[in-house]
Amino acid sequence: MREIIFDTETTGLDPATGERMVEIGCIEMVNRVSTGATFHAYFNPDIPMPAEAEAVHGLSDAFLADKPRFHERAEELLTFLGDAPLVAHNASFDFKFLNAELDICGLEAISTARMIDTIRIAKTRHPGAKLSLDALCTRYGIDRSHRTKHGALLDAELLAQLYVELTGGRQIGLELSAAQETTFAVEDMTIRRERVFRSARPHGASEDELRRHAEFLESLNSPLWKS
């Protein structure tokens, strides 16, 4: 199953007040394994970058001045996304900004039916725990030492590792059973993961091995089972 893990950086908290998206990072996964395919872009928002937002992600007006506008790469982004489920941390925030940018371009919004929110998954796994990306990475031992500021592609890479842990972790595929589909619900969202297993290798003693085993048993001196 193909899924896209993504993150955004913005000028603020609400596109309804005129805030814009300035960065998006996307990572392709197939069957919960990264394929190495990514989409990453910075955008000139055509509005000044607030100091508090720049302090979070480090993207300045000067840095973004020569970057393309969102509409210049929108079709390329949509082609990369395809029709795959889209995974994000606090996904409603990222969807809100992504769809606001698409609306400005006159393009169709992405359905929230495709949205998978890792915060909602984490909330069911760890009720009452801290649910920030940093806190969850610490919980699962995911190295984030290179993360000094927020960055869309870097955060998507961390989230991809976290998503695997939240939905089965490194144990995915170790179960010894026939092919099956595992389904679990997160509030009003249902996630399905297909698992394909190899059948156990046929094994059994050969006639020669059985003969030698019988000879060995006969050679034992007063075994308990003959008492």
Q: Please list the active-site residues.
A: 150
| Token pair listed for 119 | 């915060």
Question: What is the distance between the alpha carbons of residues 151 and 111, in angstroms, rounded to a whole number?
Answer: 25
| Token pair listed for 206 | 């050969």
Segment (H or E) for 7: strand 2-10
Looking up tokens 């940093």 gives 134
Backbone dihedral angles phi then psi of residue 126, each to the nearest 5 degrees: -135, 65
Contact predicate 133/158, CB 8 Å = yes
